[in-house]
Structure 1
């Protein structure tokens, strides 16, 4: 019966995805059919409803809608423009400085909003016209924006790291957040290295020198926005409040700041709430149906079978981690990070744990993998948003995006095989139990 349920699960999900049914519906219906085949029609309906509710009934998950709402408020509240101006000062007069500014702005905005898609949209809408005016090729500008946007999924606060904490059995969110800093910064630096190389080949212009007085003014204006990171992360690390409470504080802070900037009005709030609700519903429903699928996979013993297959193939930790990376990179091209984390963490984590891999290091590795998937065809959401913002077709962006794939994959290997990149900062701050 277990084999039959596993086949039904895979066949139903595969068939629905092929005909274009959304991932969440496909996973939910596939899991429901498999559960019915295991425990019967009535019990299957009851069990699926229970698993769906249990998957979404988590205090930790409340952080996700609040962080999403904070990101939407910042996207509409003039904060993105101030961060872009700050990024211009930071990137200085490097060759291809506007493209470097794009990367730094994505890192700053992504680290505050926690959304790669929002970052690609907000920063891309501002930077694309500026780069076109300076003579940058639109394809290259779009690639720089798309390639650097997912750094915000790793630099905290990160919704994907919250989901991983849930899937891994309660890994410390504070430690995961702090662990994301070095890998996220390395992602941005890798993109800047690609831009520096391409800038010399294409002889891209430098920005004009920003006068010291103007630079100080711009940085001063950006400080209130950047303080959000200090308040949220500092409060979590200092034990002042939980990640969920921090997310609510982030909403209040972003809302107050936007009203101070006079960039949003009370009449804008219904649209902001509606946008945040749409995004939140998708994410939370994905988590619920993924929990249904996890129950089926546990019953059918799929994780153990895959683990035995890996152990039968090799007992070398380096090879096993490479296989995991390859699988996750492939899965990331077709699955959203949220269901991918919920499905594959229970499969891969016990194997990694048996080799002594730290759960924080493993969490950064799996999220880094799936972040690359967001810019990879055929399903990459950041890729589609970035091309739409730039007004280009998908095929026009793939070639200039290849160097960014190579650079970020190289950083992924560093993150995978040098655990200190993820563990050093949390260890220094005493976040290990």
Structure 2
């Protein structure tokens, strides 16, 4: 099994697509791991047929509809009006809009693409350096996962057997803390990156997303379909009205009705929307299907149990264990795609964490935050590549600003790791 894991990491490092690396490994080591080829179709199909995983394509579909229907633009305009009193407001708008986008799609990369294409051009018009704008866009995209719902948390909950609703609740405070940390970093850097420390335009009238609005009340009324969607999704989940999967279905239907009834899209647009959502969902579910076979082999070979035994033998301190786990996960996040890292490391490390008495919900937040930081750290760094492509900015122009946002995220990670009451806040009520 050690050889298999080493080969898997080597394949990923040389650039083999994740959806190919896992199947190749499973097929190559099927005899050594006692995997019956005849069982592969049923095993993989049964894995992706689970009810909780149905939330993934539905949330992706809701995000595609929101983006195509102009609802993301409405969210951005509301943030512009509400946060305009702050210093260097458009940077705060990008952060706030990313948080709202995260409350709809649960995808970091989708958040970067949608918000970068909407807010990025306006930030450039107001005097922000392209590299800083793209770095802020990439960093703010982390809120797409930290603000619930979250696709990696759905994956972790499904494969480890933890309540997805509790994971969503546990991510609220860390997500809001990270959002505030990014706002503080932007506030401090704005004086250096802007000409004379101020945006070139202060009247906040250049967005022109969805038409002019005479007052905040009118804007809120016109944007109510977009603003109400996160309330429906999160309110329904936390009140117990429906499960996260049912919430995803409600979000998709709601977004579709808002698109058609609001006349922000046409029936002809639906083919492209459903096609893009289907391709993105199929790629994720294909990876999940074969990682489930790999994880089953890990259990049969008792690898998680061996790691747990080794960890508890090495140290009796949960704090030292968490420190080592953070270092390992940060490295894994740099080399592996977020969903694959979650599916691989969750079953490996969760049993060891349980041996130290670490709450599985708390550990899930730690794991996801760690691998999400990998979206900002090369060689993979998906958020950086998407932000660079969306905004037409070279990667090298982003690096001089990116360190501040990574540092803020690491501080938040330390707080989340060593202050369990932050993610587990809801248990005090």
**TM-score when normalising by structure 1:** 0.92
Which of 96, 100, 105 is equivalent to 1:113? Answer: 105
Q: CA deviation at 1:19?
A: 4.3
Question: Equivalences for 1:274-289 in 2 at 5 Å?
Answer: 274-289=275-290
The structure-2 alpha-carbon separation of the partners of 1:18 and 1:208, relative to structure 1 and needing over 3 Å to count, comes to closer
Quote the residue 1:45 is aligned against. Answer: 37
1:173 and 2:164 aligned: yes
1:199 and 2:190 aligned: yes
Secondary structure in structure 1 of the residue aligned to 2:357 = coil
1:237 and 2:215 aligned: no
Question: Equivalences for 1:409-424 in 2 at 5 Å?
Answer: 409-424=410-425
- Structure 1 window deviating more from structure 2 (314-323 vs 14-23): it is 14-23
Question: Equivalences for 1:394-409 in 2 at 5 Å?
Answer: 394-409=395-410
Assess if the C-alpha contact under 8 Å between 2:113 and 2:390 holds in 1.
yes
Q: CA deviation at 1:18?
A: 4.5
- Structure 1 window deviating more from structure 2 (394-403 vs 262-271): it is 394-403
- Structure 1 CA distance for aligned equivalents of residues 5 and 362 of structure 2: 30
Q: CA deviation at 1:210?
A: 6.4
Question: Equivalences for 1:346-365 in 2 at 5 Å?
Answer: 346-365=347-366
Quote the residue 2:261 is aligned against. Answer: 260
Q: CA deviation at 1:11?
A: 4.6
The structure-2 alpha-carbon separation of the partners of 1:238 and 1:60, relative to structure 1 and needing over 3 Å to count, comes to same
- Structure 1 CA distance for aligned equivalents of residues 197 and 179 of structure 2: 19
1:74 and 2:75 aligned: no
Which of 195, 208, 222 is equivalent to 2:202? Answer: 208
- Structure 2 CA distance for aligned equivalents of residues 178 and 308 of structure 1: 31
- Structure 1 CA distance for aligned equivalents of residues 204 and 131 of structure 2: 27
User: 1:349-369 deviations in whole A, cap 9, x for unaligned?
Assistant: 112212222222222111111
User: 1:140-197 deviations in whole A, cap 9, x for unaligned?
Assistant: 011111111111212112121111111221x222222122111111111111111111
Quote the residue 1:137 is aligned against. Answer: 129
Which of 29, 32, 39 is equivalent to 1:34? Answer: 29
Question: Equivalences for 1:241-252 in 2 at 5 Å?
Answer: 241-252=242-253
1:63 and 2:60 aligned: no
- Structure 1 window deviating more from structure 2 (112-121 vs 90-99): it is 90-99
Secondary structure in structure 2 of the residue aligned to 1:36 = coil
Quote the residue 2:323 is aligned against. Answer: 322
**TM-score when normalising by structure 2:** 0.93
The alignment yields a C-alpha RMSD, in angstroms, of 1.9
- Structure 1 window deviating more from structure 2 (20-29 vs 307-316): it is 307-316
User: 1:264-292 deviations in whole A, cap 9, x for unaligned?
Assistant: 11001111011000110111111111111
- Structure 2 CA distance for aligned equivalents of residues 17 and 364 of structure 1: 24
- Structure 2 CA distance for aligned equivalents of residues 198 and 20 of structure 1: 35
- Structure 2 CA distance for aligned equivalents of residues 84 and 176 of structure 1: 27
- Structure 1 CA distance for aligned equivalents of residues 405 and 237 of structure 2: 32
Which of 179, 183, 192 is equivalent to 1:188? Answer: 179
Question: Equivalences for 1:15-26 in 2 at 5 Å?
Answer: 15-26=10-21
Stretches (4+) displaced over 4 A: 209-213
Q: CA deviation at 1:425?
A: 2.9
Quote the residue 2:77 is aligned against. Answer: 85
- Structure 2 CA distance for aligned equivalents of residues 398 and 426 of structure 1: 39
Assess if the C-alpha contact under 8 Å between 2:130 and 2:397 holds in 1.
no
Secondary structure in structure 2 of the residue aligned to 1:419 = coil
Quote the residue 2:210 is aligned against. Answer: none
User: 1:212-267 deviations in whole A, cap 9, x for unaligned?
Assistant: 95223223333321211221222222222222211111111001111233221100
Assess if the C-alpha contact under 8 Å between 1:174 and 1:237 holds in 2.
yes
- Structure 2 CA distance for aligned equivalents of residues 417 and 300 of structure 1: 32
Q: CA deviation at 1:138?
A: 0.4
Q: CA deviation at 1:302?
A: 2.1
Which of 117, 129, 132 is equivalent to 1:125? Answer: 117
Consecutive unaligned residues in structure 1, runs of 5 or more: 429-433
Q: CA deviation at 1:111?
A: 1.3
- Structure 2 CA distance for aligned equivalents of residues 299 and 109 of structure 1: 40
Quote the residue 1:431 is aligned against. Answer: none
Secondary structure in structure 2 of the residue aligned to 1:339 = helix
Q: CA deviation at 1:419?
A: 1.3
Secondary structure in structure 1 of the residue aligned to 2:33 = helix
User: 1:22-73 deviations in whole A, cap 9, x for unaligned?
Assistant: 012101211222222233xxx6312433432232120111111111100111
